[in-house]
């Protein structure tokens, strides 16, 4: 049974109950599986959540979370398989400050990508690295039209989007809809089931399974620090000041 990814529903939910469905002992840590989880597993250029579990009145650190074959694996320090916890309900606690920092850095990558592709439709989203330190997005720039001179205009448009307090929401789209909106990205999404898309204001939505803040006003302080072209890619660095 695959883990129900509750973090997709609410970025701001930092505490929830869940039942342990399986465990494996790895030294002093346990790999723990739940029926559902509010912990984001590392992936898509975004670091995993960390936090702790409350189990029978004791507190255990969740040091890392990863996605594995449809399931979400939580590395929990000090928990023992022999304690017979499978089937038991525990309380998950996500480090909210870290979650929001990660969600902001990740959402910022989307917004900057939208602004650049609007400035030049020849630029296509290619890669994102949204760790809060050293964040960047890369755009595919086959016609080699992008350059560092875009920075001032991109920065002005970014500030406009933040001031406009645009709503950010997740929507569910069919393959056909995505093929129309995002022909370049459609090849990466499943044909037989709906895909989660993230929509910022009126920008064209994009498929994504990450955590996002709910309004562009939460991205106050975001600055683009550098735009640099390397061969057919445009690399755009950004940070929060
Ligand atoms: Zn995203």
212 alpha carbon – ligand 1 mean position (Å): 6
Domain locations in the chain? 4-94, 99-240
Entry pTM: 0.94
Q: How many helices (H) and strands (E) does the chain have?
A: 3, 15
| For ion ligand 1, residues whose CB falls within 5 Å | 198, 208, 210
192 alpha carbon – ligand 1 mean position (Å): 21
- For residues 175, 102, 18, 215, the Cα torsion angle rounded to the nearest 10 degrees is -60
Q: Is the dihedral of CA 31, 33, 38, 41 positive or negative?
A: positive
Residue 18 half-sphere exposure toward CB, CA atoms < 13 A: 27
- Residue recorded with tokens 């040091």: 63
166 alpha carbon – ligand 1 mean position (Å): 15
Measured CA to CA, the distance from residue 109 to residue 32 in angstroms comes to: 31
DSSP 3-state of 109: helix
pLDDT of residue 132: 87
pLDDT tens sequence across 86-138: 999 999 999 999 999 999 999 999 999 999 999 999 999 999 999 988 999 99
pLDDT of residue 76: 98
Measured CA to CA, the distance from residue 209 to residue 196 in angstroms comes to: 7
pLDDT of residue 100: 97
- Judge whether 4-94 and 99-240 match in fold: no
pLDDT of residue 70: 83
Measured CA to CA, the distance from residue 82 to residue 88 in angstroms comes to: 13
What one-character DSSP code corresponds to residue 167?
B
pLDDT tens sequence across 42-61: 988 899 999 999 999 999 99
- Segments of the chain assigned E as strands: 4-5, 15-26, 29-34, 36-37, 51-55, 58-68, 71-77, 89-94, 124-129, 136-140, 168-173, 195-200, 206-207, 222-230, 233-240
pLDDT of residue 188: 87
CA 102 from chain center: how many Å?
A: 8
**Average of pLDDT values for 13-33?**
97
Question: What's the CATH architecture for 4-94?
Answer: Beta Barrel (2.40)
pLDDT tens sequence across 151-167: 999 999 999 999 999 99
pLDDT tens sequence across 183-234: 888 888 889 989 999 999 999 999 999 999 999 999 999 999 999 999 999 9
42 alpha carbon – ligand 1 mean position (Å): 13
Question: What's the CATH architecture for 99-240?
Answer: 2-Layer Sandwich (3.30)
Instruction: Indicate if the pLDDT at residue 1 is higher than 80.
Output: no
Residue 140 half-sphere exposure toward CB, CA atoms < 13 A: 7
């Amino acid at each position: 049974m695959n883990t129900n990814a509750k973090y997709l529903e609410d970025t701001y939910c930092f505490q929830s109950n869940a039942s342990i469905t399986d465990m494996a002992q790895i030294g002093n840590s346990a790999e723990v599986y739940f029926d559902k989880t509010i912990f984001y597993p590392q992936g898509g250029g975004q670091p995993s959540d960390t936090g702790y579990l409350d189990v029978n009145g004791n507190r255990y650190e969740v040091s890392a979370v990863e996605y594995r074959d449809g399931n979400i694996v939580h590395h929990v320090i000090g928990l023992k398989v022999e304690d017979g916890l499978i089937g038991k309900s525990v309380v998950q606690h996500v480090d909210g400050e870290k979650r929001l920092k990660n969600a902001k850095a990740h959402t910022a990558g989307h917004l900057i990508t939208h602004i650049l592709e609007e400035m030049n439709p020849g630029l296509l989203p290619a890669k994102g690295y949204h760790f809060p330190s050293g964040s960047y997005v890369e755009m595919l720039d086959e016609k080699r039209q992008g350059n560092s001179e875009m920075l001032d205009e991109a920065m002005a448009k970014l500030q406009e989007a933040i001031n406009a307090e645009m709503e950010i929401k997740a929507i569910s789209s069919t393959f056909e809809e995505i093929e129309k909106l995002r022909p370049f990205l459609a090849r990466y999404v499943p044909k037989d089931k709906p895909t989660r898309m993230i929509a910022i204001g009126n920008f064209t939505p994009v498929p994504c399974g990450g955590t996002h803040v709910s309004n562009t006003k939460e991205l106050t302080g975001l600055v683009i620090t550098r735009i640099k072209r390397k061969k057919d890619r445009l690399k755009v660095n950004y940070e929060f000041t």
